[in-house]
Chains A and B, each alone.
Chain A
Amino acid sequence: MADVQLPVAIVVATLRAATPLTLAGFGELVTERAGVLNLGVEGMMLVGAAFGFMATVASGSLLIGFLAAMIAGAALALVFGVLTLSLMANQVATGLALTIFGIGFSALVGVKFVGMPLGGLATALWPHLAAAPPLLQQFMLLDPVVWLALLLPFAVHRFIYRTRAGLVLRAVGESHDVAHALGYSVLRIRYLAVLFGGAMSGLAGAYLSLAYTPMWTENMVAGRGWIALALVVFSTWKPAWLALGALLFGLVTIAQFQAEALGVAIPPNLLAMLPYLATVGVLVLISRDATRLKLNAPAALGRPFHATA
């Protein structure tokens, strides 16, 4: 029994740590497949985390909390969309602005909620969680959002490669002029993709504040939004690789947990560096092959579209 418990605990912890990366990563994957580079993932996740937490405290319902987080993330993404798609502002600068604004704004609106206790998703679903046998407890920790994150890669893969709408999305991302000439509304499709990305980032943030930790603190996303962005590059915009990358990073993120379980004493600050160093590592590995990156990147990524005819 005891020898099963540790591996199970590590698998569960990995899946839970990978969930926010998967959600935000697939949101950004769809956005980038439409040819839009939104560097504001971190900001949208923070706003989602803050609004999700506040809505849950106000309404008493976690479902409303998650919905509010998705709306908040999408609202911030809409600002990004208006600036970059309608007003054709620089996508890199606007994305950075979104992150800086999101960090400040979430801290501002959430200031009264810092340190407030909240049961969290697992406890809400299983009131007897704490009393359950350890192994069962681990399975109870796999909440519906974790399952959603496990299903999302299949859904997005199917959407992108097996549906007509997915084909149109890819066409817009590869060559907006051709898609426009074929009669597709480039801006409408890009707006939808950006909004989907925002809603997923918001959900990812709310998962952190409502299920993973569960509490709200300033800047609690701690770079996960940027890691999700890096994972999209790492995946060369392919759903299967993104899912794998998110799981890999879930494993790296819980290194602290594993080290403790194995009885290794490494200062927590040094362990906390691991996900960031690993991100740099995978970026280097994947970027070395410039041709591969160029062949797989959506050809119109980051380029503004202005209808010429």
Chain B
Amino acid sequence: MVWLSPVLAALLSVIGVTLLFAALGRDPVEALATLFVTPLASIDGLTELGLKATPLLLCAIGIAIGVRADVWNIGAEGQFTLGAIVGSAVALGWGGGGHWWVILATLFAGIAGGMAWAAVPALLRTRFNAHEILTTLMLSYVAIQLLGYLVHGPWKDPEGYSFPQTRQFAPDAMLPLLLEGTRLHIGALFALAAVPLGSVLLGRTLVGFRIRTVGAAPAAARYAGFSRNATVWVCLLLSGGLAGLAGICEIAGGNGQLTPLISPGYGFAAIIVAFLGRLNPVGILFASLLMALLYLGGEGLQVSMQMPIAVTGTVQGMLLFFLLAADVLINYRVRLLPARRAGVVTDG
């Protein structure tokens, strides 16, 4: 039953998008085809889909694990940025010597950067009781400014014709491609691996059990002696590390240099992905593909129909609205039925 509402929400969104296109005076059929079908019609499109789904999947799994414990990390965008920054520091500092460990060090630095950025809200929450919704988000804005400062200032490529960008990574600091001739890199495998790992962690380990208990029944968790603070730390470090990995993969698997704009809002879109995937790693895999399709289709609309790229964000927001509304309709039925059944049981 819970899986019906994302499907329902997707259908309602298609209707909403149709009305939106009609309101904008565009042919809805052509627009829908560009948005949802064209990207899937070529091998190039499919690999691009995987490329865009990778950061969404990594960030969303972390966010979802947090929300299961009632820990709201909505600053994945900032952790993503810090992962890219710290990873790039290693790649730019040690790359080019032909050492085999440089790419590994780059990836681990990215993870550490994301974790460190998430550790701040974790400390502020556990030590000072400051709620992570606002602190993680504020730190995202700080991270984006920090990136802007670095690429405009100390890290600017002296030979970059005064463009705000860093030097190019050396080849030994770049992630290998999965498929020659496309842009799909090995980071997609990390994201895929995160699905079973996330599932096992949540469903089959004590840590996962604690996370779910703290979220679903805080009082029970307290009686059982599960530490709320430890859960906050685990959730934020985990989601920060995953977002950091996503960030450095995006750079080391993509352009190989930092620019002021490294993400089209992956960290924020990942919140929608997490909810659309029902806070479940397997569901999130499918949700990330759908969301990646929206990014790709949005770009297609921009190129072929001269529509603004903001169509993507509008449809994403609409999707989450419909999901929440559809969820409620389903929750209502779930709530009403047991009440009646319980009555029957006590009578019997």
A residues touching B (Cβ–Cβ < 8 Å)? 39, 43, 79, 83, 87-90, 92-94, 96-98, 100-105, 107-108, 111, 218, 222-223, 226-227, 229-230, 233, 267, 269-270, 272-273, 276-277, 279-280, 283-284, 287-288, 290, 293
Evaluate whether A284 and B128 lie within 8 angstroms (CB atoms) in the complex, with A101-B317, A107-B313 already known.
yes
| B-side contacts of A105, CB under 8 Å | 310, 313-314, 317
- Asked if A223 and B313 sit within 8 Å, CB to CB, the answer is no
Of all chain B residues, the one with the shortest Cβ separation from A84 is: B324
A229 to B135, CA, bound (A): 12
| A-side contacts of B275, CB under 8 Å | 93
| A-side contacts of B318, CB under 8 Å | 101
- Asked if A269 and B138 sit within 8 Å, CB to CB, the answer is no
* 30 A–B contacts, CB within 8 A, in A order: A43-B317, A83-B324, A83-B325, A83-B328, A88-B331, A89-B327, A89-B328, A93-B275, A96-B271, A98-B317, A101-B317, A104-B311, A104-B312, A104-B314, A107-B314, A218-B310, A227-B138, A230-B134, A269-B146, A272-B145, A273-B141, A273-B142, A276-B139, A279-B138, A280-B135, A283-B124, A283-B131, A284-B124, A288-B128, A290-B129
In whole Å, how far is B141's beta carbon from the nearest beta carbon of chain A? Answer: 4
A223 to B271, CA, bound (A): 17
- Asked if B146 and A273 sit within 8 Å, CB to CB, the answer is yes
The 8 A CB mask of B291-326 against A (1 = contact, 0 = none) is 000000000000000001011111111101100110
- Asked if B135 and A283 sit within 8 Å, CB to CB, the answer is yes
Q: How large is the interface on B (under 10, 10 to 19, 20 to 34, 35 or more residues)?
A: 35 or more
Q: Does B117 reach chain A (CB closer than 8 Å)?
A: no
- Asked if A226 and B313 sit within 8 Å, CB to CB, the answer is no
Q: Does B148 reach chain A (CB closer than 8 Å)?
A: yes
Q: Does B167 reach chain A (CB closer than 8 Å)?
A: no
Q: Does B268 reach chain A (CB closer than 8 Å)?
A: yes
A98 to B324, CA, bound (A): 11
| B-side contacts of A269, CB under 8 Å | 145-146, 148-149, 152-153
- Asked if B328 and A88 sit within 8 Å, CB to CB, the answer is yes
- Asked if A100 and B272 sit within 8 Å, CB to CB, the answer is yes
A100 to B321, CA, bound (A): 10
- Asked if B130 and A280 sit within 8 Å, CB to CB, the answer is yes
A90 to B311, CA, bound (A): 25
A267 to B146, CA, bound (A): 10
A280 to B311, CA, bound (A): 32
- Asked if B130 and A287 sit within 8 Å, CB to CB, the answer is yes
| B-side contacts of A218, CB under 8 Å | 310
- Asked if A87 and B271 sit within 8 Å, CB to CB, the answer is no
| A-side contacts of B141, CB under 8 Å | 222-223, 273, 276
| A-side contacts of B134, CB under 8 Å | 226, 229-230, 233, 279-280, 283
Partner of B138, one of A96, A97, A270, A277: A277
Partner of B317, one of A104, A280, A283: A104
Q: Does B137 reach chain A (CB closer than 8 Å)?
A: yes
Inter-chain CB contacts under 8 Å: number? 137
Q: Does B29 reach chain A (CB closer than 8 Å)?
A: no
Evaluate whether A100 and B139 lie within 8 angstroms (CB atoms) in the complex, with A89-B328, A108-B313 already known.
no
Beyond A226-B134, A227-B138, A272-B145, 9 additional pairs, beta carbon < 8 A = A43-B317, A90-B324, A93-B320, A94-B321, A101-B313, A101-B317, A103-B313, A107-B308, A233-B131
A251 to B141, CA, bound (A): 19
Q: Which of B316, B321, B329 has the most CB of A within 10 A?
A: B321
| A-side contacts of B146, CB under 8 Å | 269, 273
A108 to B329, CA, bound (A): 29
Partner of A107, one of B124, B310, B315: B310
- Asked if A293 and B129 sit within 8 Å, CB to CB, the answer is yes
Of all chain A residues, the one with the shortest Cβ separation from B298 is: A104
In whole Å, how far is B59's beta carbon from the nearest beta carbon of chain A? Answer: 14
A96 to B275, CA, bound (A): 11
In whole Å, how far is B48's beta carbon from the nearest beta carbon of chain A? Answer: 21
| A-side contacts of B324, CB under 8 Å | 83, 87, 89-90, 93-94, 97
Q: Does B72 reach chain A (CB closer than 8 Å)?
A: yes
| B-side contacts of A279, CB under 8 Å | 134, 138
Q: Does B90 reach chain A (CB closer than 8 Å)?
A: no
| A-side contacts of B7, CB under 8 Å | none
- Asked if B327 and A288 sit within 8 Å, CB to CB, the answer is no
A284 to B130, CA, bound (A): 5
- Asked if A100 and B268 sit within 8 Å, CB to CB, the answer is yes
Q: Does B133 reach chain A (CB closer than 8 Å)?
A: yes
| A-side contacts of B327, CB under 8 Å | 89
| A-side contacts of B137, CB under 8 Å | 223, 226
Of all chain A residues, the one with the shortest Cβ separation from B323 is: A97
In whole Å, how far is B124's beta carbon from the nearest beta carbon of chain A? Answer: 6
| A-side contacts of B74, CB under 8 Å | 96
- Asked if A108 and B138 sit within 8 Å, CB to CB, the answer is no
- Asked if B271 and A100 sit within 8 Å, CB to CB, the answer is yes
